[in-house]
A and B are shown apart, each in its own frame.
Chain A
Amino acid sequence: MSTKEELLKGLKEGVIEFDEDTTVKCSEEWIKDGYNASEGIFDGLAAGMEVVGDLFAKNEYFVPEVLMCADALYAGLDLLKPHVEGDEDESKIKGEAVIGTVEGDVHDIGKNIVKLMFEVAGFTVHDLGKDVPLDQFVEEQMRTDSDLVCLSAMMTTTMVGMKKVISNMREKNPNVKILLGGAPVTGDIADKWGADGYGDDASNALTEAINMVSSLKELRKSGEL
């Protein structure tokens, strides 16, 4: 029999050590012992993933480790999520984002890592997948009223499509924040094309996104939007 603290630690460490067995075992016990599922997700699994994000930023972890951590996280999440009670704690939701790899591009590993970081940080993410028709980004934003639109591209050739999404998005909804990422993209390109931010890697994208959303929310609060 483990204590609540031990289980939380297990969930967190299981993610960091990419140990799927541990996250599964602790999640099962967590539910069996009747603890709050949301708490297990945020203070256990997600807290572990935040550490992973740090390790990634410090170059200690690389793509394979992050993906393995993600597997451990999702294994636990699959067990805990069905037990989350109706009203989620609103304060923990940081914002809503539409994300996808742009048309013509089928590389989505980087996008998936960014999505994962967003989710553990409390974002609601609408993932459009890969090779996403350019218009779909705008449609999905309008449908979900998301705060953020995140565009990813791995190839120089497809990166060019982002420019079109940005101008269409601005026309329809100038207040949406747009974030770019992917191997060929640079901060200068993001500036030049009128995006609001650029994520050099997943953790960087997340920091940018959190800043953008909080500035949006402040604007809303002050009644400017």
Chain B
Amino acid sequence: MEKFKVIFQPSGSRGQVEEGKTVREAAQELGVDIESVCGGKKTCGKCKVQIQEGSFEKFNIESKADHLSPIMDDEKRQLKDTEVKDNYRLSCTAEINGDILVFVPEESRSGGQVVRKAAGDIDVAIDPIIKNYYVELVPPVLEEAEGDLERLLKELEKSHDLKDLSIDYLVLKGLPDIIREGKWKVTAAIRDDKEIIKVFPGFADKKFGLAVDIGTTSVVGYLTDLETGEVISIDSMMNPQVSYGEDVMARITYAMTNDDGLEKMNSSIVEGLNKIIVGVTKKVDMTPEDILEFVIVGNTCMHHIFLNINPEPVGLSPFPPAFHHSIDVKSRDLGIRGSPGSYIHVLPIEAGFVGADNMGVVVAVAPEKQDQILLIIDIGTNGEIVLGNSKKLVSTSCATGPAFEGAQIKHGMRAAPGAIERVKISPFAKEVKFKVIGETEWHNKTQKIKARGICGSGIIEAVAEMFKSGVIKKNGTFNKELDTKRIRKNDKDMLEFVLAWKDETSIGKDISVTLGDIRAIQLAKGALYTGCKILMKHHGIDKVDKVILAGAFGSFIDKEASMLLGMFPDCELDKVEAIGNAAGDGARIALINNKLRKEADKTAREIKYIELTVDPEFQTAFMQSMYFPHMKDDFPHIQDVLDKIPK
């Protein structure tokens, strides 16, 4: 097959690409990050690139727009006429049949995301699965020349009452040298009082573990001191699988439709995690070999791909996982760098879409130990909800879609510098104030960072403010009687509300919220609210004591805005609490407390999973939940705000 030269700018990545591959596939091969929100289905239009025509001496190529497959109607629909004229193409669909130079515009570049996953304080007893035991061995003599291992085992039994221990083969291999290096004084790191996974020469009281949260979009590792529970360094990155599809369904489909799809995604996350391991240890002058134990959380799809298990059944109703129980795997079996004898513990899965990440949240919040009724919502591309207390726990998962993360939104983008994250609209003049990530003050003309798009928390607040100021009605439609130039029809003949004018943005055009965006938010928040309501019905309650918002996203959305939109049922605003990346916190807890780790397996199976779509009231509940804040339900705790909405 013929190969062609492909060059990406501004990164400068270049290489030979086989004929017939799409620009996006070429980008993947050459390590160029291009947004791919819809996973190559030509619906999001976010992967647009510009073909630079001409001869490029420096690269020795003649780049032409017609070195790509002809533009199709579907593709055209995602592009403006002027863009078509300027040789813009969707990278997911344009196929290469000649040398090209591709420019990836700023708005199409992924990466540079602000990963908002700091480590919160956690308060649990320190009782890790790994314990260090120091022993002083009697050196062998001719009269008593027993083997090194037997000598070590005997002494561990004698001084520490540890019986029937096994030893990792690679640890055993190095044992004679270590014992002699320590001059017959060694410290054995023993896992769960069963297996010797590391032997240090002499006395060693330090031991470290890594808790990892593999999110669909970002991966975070917390290097933790297993003695103190303290997080000593954090490293994070975009999940490198993003280039195979933005959401879990796109990735499952990638595994289904490509023979080596699972392999590719598995190696990309293993490679990514190894980078984090190197990064997180380097920051504190350590090496990957210093890590004795790993705990991993992630949604069911991330969990399966990480373990190299086919995720296909998870993508099809009734969505069964390959297994629920937690699992311990030698890190070397998965190609993960760590101490040679180290294990990876992966938290259990509750049900299909309520995965090990949600189990992390449950471990962190511990609703099974509380009397008050908690409504725990983890908002991501999928919303996972757990409801209940020590008496009864139910859970569900709802397809919120990626709208809350800024995808499927016309000007949506990730939480990166330039993303509008806060919005205020004045009730009468309908004038807009906004704040972008990267600036501390509300936007003004002197600021360096201009608006580039709207992130998840920004779109929530924008739509909530539009509702609060009367720009849109309860049913999501625009109030057409308003006289403001911010409400207008766009080139697709759809109503929209302008948040930022061209001169306030860095993308050369206005940034607006369209009716289509509002519809996407209605569907997403309707799904979430419906999940809450149906769980409450199954639990037999009509109000909750506390709403807990897990996930980084929950920390950045305004509580009042989220209640105005009706993302969840009414509750005292003071009782709505955002707890940040609880999945990561749960992983850290499982790393430093073995008892809680073991309880998680039990709790996971006690939480009753409720499938929403089979509930006879689902359709009606969903329909009513799409209104702001709801078609019928009362919201006494924000009634004063609702009363003030200009009619």
- Chain A residues with CB under 8 Å of chain B are 59-60, 62-65, 67-68, 103-109, 112, 130-131, 154-160, 184, 186-189
Task: List 29 A–B pairs whose Cβ atoms lie within 8 Å, in order of A's numbering.
Answer: A59-B516, A60-B477, A63-B523, A64-B623, A64-B631, A67-B623, A68-B623, A103-B316, A104-B316, A106-B317, A106-B613, A107-B613, A108-B613, A112-B619, A154-B399, A156-B41, A157-B312, A158-B317, A160-B253, A160-B256, A160-B257, A184-B41, A184-B43, A184-B249, A186-B41, A187-B73, A187-B74, A188-B42, A188-B74
Any A CB within 8 A of the CB of B614: yes
Q: Which residue of B lies closest to A190 (CB)?
A: B74
Any A CB within 8 A of the CB of B578: no
Interfacial chain B residues near A59, Cβ < 8 Å: 477, 494-495, 515-516, 519
Any A CB within 8 A of the CB of B380: no
**In the bound complex, what is the Cα–Cα distance between A68 and B627 (angstroms)?**
13
Candidates A60, A104, A186, A189; contact of B315 at CB < 8 Å: A104
Interfacial chain B residues near A105, Cβ < 8 Å: 316-317
Residues facing A in B222-265 (CB within 8 A) are 249-250, 252-253, 256-257
Known contacts A104-B316, A155-B315; A63 and B41 CB within 8 A of each other: no
Query: Contact between A63 and B515 (Cβ–Cβ < 8 Å)?
Result: no
> What is the total of A-B residue contacts with beta carbons within 8 Å?
84
Query: Contact between B43 and A186 (Cβ–Cβ < 8 Å)?
Result: yes
**In the bound complex, what is the Cα–Cα distance between A67 and B626 (angstroms)?**
12
How close is A203's CB to chain B, nearest CB, in angstroms? 15
Proximity bits, B582-618, A CB within 8 Å = 1, else 0:
0000000000000000000000000000010110000
Any A CB within 8 A of the CB of B39: yes
Interfacial chain B residues near A157, Cβ < 8 Å: 249, 252-253, 256, 312, 315-316
Interfacial chain A residues near B250, Cβ < 8 Å: 156
Known contacts A67-B619, A188-B72; A131 and B317 CB within 8 A of each other: yes
Any A CB within 8 A of the CB of B339: no
Proximity bits, B137-148, A CB within 8 Å = 1, else 0:
000000000000
Q: Is the interface of B mostly helix, strand, loop or mixed?
A: helix
Interfacial chain A residues near B75, Cβ < 8 Å: 188
Query: Contact between B43 and A64 (Cβ–Cβ < 8 Å)?
Result: no
Can you name 15 extra interface pairs (CB under 8 A) apart from A64-B623, A109-B622? A59-B515, A62-B477, A67-B619, A68-B623, A108-B613, A112-B619, A130-B613, A131-B317, A154-B399, A156-B249, A156-B250, A156-B252, A157-B253, A158-B316, A188-B93
**In the bound complex, what is the Cα–Cα distance between A9 and B617 (angstroms)?**
31
Most buried by B among A60, A68, A104: A104
How close is B410's CB to chain A, nearest CB, in angstroms? 14
Query: Contact between A65 and B42 (Cβ–Cβ < 8 Å)?
Result: no
Query: Contact between A155 and B249 (Cβ–Cβ < 8 Å)?
Result: yes
Interfacial chain B residues near A159, Cβ < 8 Å: 253
Any A CB within 8 A of the CB of B522: yes
Any A CB within 8 A of the CB of B624: yes
Interfacial chain B residues near A160, Cβ < 8 Å: 253, 256-257
Q: Which residue of B lies closest to A184 (CB)?
A: B41
Any A CB within 8 A of the CB of B475: yes
Q: Chain B: interface residue count, which band? A: 35 or more
Interfacial chain B residues near A187, Cβ < 8 Å: 73-74
How close is B516's CB to chain A, nearest CB, in angstroms? 8
Query: Contact between A189 and B41 (Cβ–Cβ < 8 Å)?
Result: yes
Query: Contact between B476 and A62 (Cβ–Cβ < 8 Å)?
Result: yes
How close is B293's CB to chain A, nearest CB, in angstroms? 34
Q: When A and B form their complex, which 3 residue pairs have the shortest distance between CB atoms, in order from nearest?
A: A104-B316, A157-B315, A188-B74
Interfacial chain B residues near A156, Cβ < 8 Å: 39, 41, 249-250, 252-253, 315
Interfacial chain B residues near A109, Cβ < 8 Å: 619, 622
How close is A190's CB to chain B, nearest CB, in angstroms? 10
Q: Which residue of B lies closest to A65 (CB)?
A: B475
Interfacial chain A residues near B73, Cβ < 8 Å: 187
Candidates B315, B317, B614, B624; contact of A64 at CB < 8 Å: B624
Interfacial chain A residues near B399, Cβ < 8 Å: 107, 154
Query: Contact between A62 and B256 (Cβ–Cβ < 8 Å)?
Result: no
Q: Which residue of B lies closest to A159 (CB)?
A: B253
**In the bound complex, what is the Cα–Cα distance between A109 and B74 (angstroms)?**
25
Query: Contact between A64 and B627 (Cβ–Cβ < 8 Å)?
Result: yes
How close is B247's CB to chain A, nearest CB, in angstroms? 8
**In the bound complex, what is the Cα–Cα distance between A188 and B516 (angstroms)?**
21
Residues facing A in B292-338 (CB within 8 A) are 312, 315-317
**In the bound complex, what is the Cα–Cα distance between A109 and B399 (angstroms)?**
13
Query: Contact between B626 and A64 (Cβ–Cβ < 8 Å)?
Result: yes
Q: Which residue of B lies closest to A157 (CB)?
A: B315
**In the bound complex, what is the Cα–Cα distance between A105 and B614 (angstroms)?**
12
**In the bound complex, what is the Cα–Cα distance between A131 and B318 (angstroms)?**
9
Query: Contact between B74 and A186 (Cβ–Cβ < 8 Å)?
Result: yes
**In the bound complex, what is the Cα–Cα distance between A158 and B613 (angstroms)?**
16
How close is B517's CB to chain A, nearest CB, in angstroms? 12
Interfacial chain B residues near A112, Cβ < 8 Å: 619
Query: Contact between A62 and B317 (Cβ–Cβ < 8 Å)?
Result: no
**In the bound complex, what is the Cα–Cα distance between A62 and B475 (angstroms)?**
8
Query: Contact between B494 and A63 (Cβ–Cβ < 8 Å)?
Result: no
**In the bound complex, what is the Cα–Cα distance between A62 and B312 (angstroms)?**
33
How close is A140's CB to chain B, nearest CB, in angstroms? 20
How close is B288's CB to chain A, nearest CB, in angstroms? 35
**In the bound complex, what is the Cα–Cα distance between A145 and B624 (angstroms)?**
38
**In the bound complex, what is the Cα–Cα distance between A103 and B315 (angstroms)?**
11
How close is B372's CB to chain A, nearest CB, in angstroms? 33
Interfacial chain A residues near B516, Cβ < 8 Å: 59
Q: Which residue of B lies closest to A66 (CB)?
A: B623
How close is A15's CB to chain B, nearest CB, in angstroms? 16
How close is B325's CB to chain A, nearest CB, in angstroms? 24
**In the bound complex, what is the Cα–Cα distance between A68 and B515 (angstroms)?**
20
**In the bound complex, what is the Cα–Cα distance between A62 and B521 (angstroms)?**
12
**In the bound complex, what is the Cα–Cα distance between A104 and B519 (angstroms)?**
26
Interfacial chain A residues near B253, Cβ < 8 Å: 156-157, 159-160
Residues facing A in B485-520 (CB within 8 A) are 494-495, 515-516, 519
